[in-house]
Amino acid sequence: MTDKQLNKVRVRFAPSPTGHLHIGTARTALFNYIFIKSQNGKFILRIEDTDLERSDVKWEKEIIEGLKWLGIEWDEFYRQSERFNIYKKYLEKLLDEDKVYYCFCTKEEIEAQKQEQTSIGKPAMYSGKCRSLSKQKISENLKNGQPFTIRFKTPPDIKIVFQDLARKKIEFDSNLISDFIISKGLDNPLYNFVVVIDDYEMEISHIIRGEDHISNTPKQILLQEALGFPTPKYAHLPLILGEDRSKLSKRHGATAVYEYKKMGYLPEALTNFIAFLGWNPGTEREIYNINSLIKEFSLDKIQKGGAIFNIKRLNFLNSFYIRQKPLNKLTELCIPYLIDAQLIVPKSDEGQIIADWGHLPLEMLGYMAMETKEKLSFNYLKQIIGIYQERLRILSEIPELCDYFFKEKLEYDRGLLKWKDMSDSEIAEVLDKLENILSKISTENFNKENLEKILIAEAEAVGDRGKLLWPLRVALCGKKASAGPFEIAEILGKEKTLTRIIEAKRIAKK
């Protein structure tokens, strides 16, 4: 890669397929993506799977699906496991130039060396014992099949300095960096070595990654210099912390992107949220889609301090984006949660239950309530989702909010029907009154507007609206909190509404 090539802006997102795509890793991908889009450059996805024992195709698949779900696209794709011949070529070059050496020390010997260093007040580092082995001794050990690693000859007494685009000047003393291992044998290259090769071969100009990689940077710069490579520009992102300011972990809640997707967070909400984990545009504005992030993003606005993961803010953003969704689309997003909760099931035109529904257009399917066996249309489900669009924080809440629409009978404590200090006789009287009023409204006029007009007037006449409207709402849904009673009654229809009021009268008498 020449200096001219470095003028091309190219970044890489390089996850290891050894586990879930976590929030911190997704943030790294997002920052690389929005930066490169603002620079009109190229985004490289590189799967770092040289650890063959821990890497798994299932994690690679999850990473790729997670990125696509978040709207992060790439221009080029590579797997390190397909590039071993390239790494071996450069490894042999370093061996030929005497910039690395064979190390035959066992784990036990290395541990003993570190303990000895510590005992005399020095950093626990490899002593460099094998650095001065003769060619004859090396040849003899190799011939005998003695296991070895290959270590880089760290030059002594130099300062390794780089200008971090997010943190300014960072400096390291080479005397505190031992001769580090770059390969186990000739065919098992390790992280710091292979990333340097790949960054050069892929013409990476900027490396944007988490601050946990800062300690790797001097080693990589030393390797770049030894190989005659230019040094890319670095920007290290702050750690993501829980609200207790410790490093974000499972004990703080979900940490994997797929878990947030499963819970019903929208990709645009999660993207908006993680963009602010370590970056601040310097304004009061909170809502940013991908395009606005690309427009506003700059590396000098990355914060140095840890970023606090605030779930309340994520919920706020998610509820905002839910409110912006077209109702048809929101209904399609909510239906899988109703199916998983076994409230409804998709059915074909012939009345057969559809087991493999995931790939089908949900708007075109018919449905059936599992408990009542009642046929349901997409439009009916859309009405139900519609009255909760303003109340939803996450999609997975929808079954608990609206399950009463799909039940034969509701179960709730009779005390729930009571408004303030109403007596049992007052509750019975109110329910009788509601039955009488509603039974006189024609089916054609049984809609939210007409119900509201009639019942509000009746409630005002009682003197306290709650005395009429609270028992009505509880009778219809059996919950402490719900959508408005007029909206619910319109969706249920006259017959079901009256049936539930009659059932409430029975419960009230228990």
Tens digit of each residue's pLDDT, the chain (510 residues): 444 445 689 999 999 999 999 999 999 999 999 999 999 999 999 999 999 899 999 999 999 999 999 999 999 999 999 999 999 999 999 999 999 999 999 999 998 888 888 888 788 889 889 999 999 999 999 999 999 999 999 999 999 999 999 999 999 999 999 999 999 999 999 999 999 999 999 999 999 999 999 999 999 999 999 999 999 999 999 999 988 888 887 677 678 999 999 999 999 999 999 999 999 888 889 999 999 999 999 998 998 888 999 999 999 999 999 999 999 999 999 999 999 999 999 998 888 999 999 889 999 999 999 999 999 999 999 999 999 999 999 999 999 999 999 999 999 999 999 999 999 999 999 999 999 999 999 999 999 999 999 999 999 998 899 999 999 999 999 999 999 999 999 999 999 999 999 999 999 987
| CA–CA separation, 177 and 215 (whole Å) | 10
| Dihedral sign (CA 36, 37, 40, 41) | positive
| CA–CA separation, 55 and 79 (whole Å) | 11
In the chain, the amino acid numbered 373 is K
| pLDDT of res. 353 | 92
Q: For the packed helices 424-439 and 448-462, what is the interaxial angle rounded to 10 degrees?
A: 140
- Going along the chain from its start, the domains and CATH numbers come out as 1-82+238-324 (3.40.50.620), 326-399 (no CATH), 414-508 (1.10.10.350)
| pLDDT of res. 4 | 42
- pTM value is 0.91
Q: How are beta strands 344-347 and 366-369 bridged, if at all?
A: antiparallel
Q: How are beta strands 42-47 and 233-237 bridged, if at all?
A: unpaired
Give the up-direction half-sphere exposure of residue 62: CA atoms within 13 A in the CB hemisphere: 21
> Would you call 90 exposed, middle or buried from its count of C-beta atoms within 10 A (0-12, 13-18, 19+)?
buried
Instruction: Please state the separation of Cα 323 from the chain's center in Å.
Output: 20
| CA–CA separation, 32 and 39 (whole Å) | 11
End-to-end CA distance of the chain: 83
| pLDDT of res. 213 | 96
Q: For the packed helices 465-477 and 448-462, what is the interaxial angle rounded to 10 degrees?
A: 140
| pLDDT of res. 7 | 67
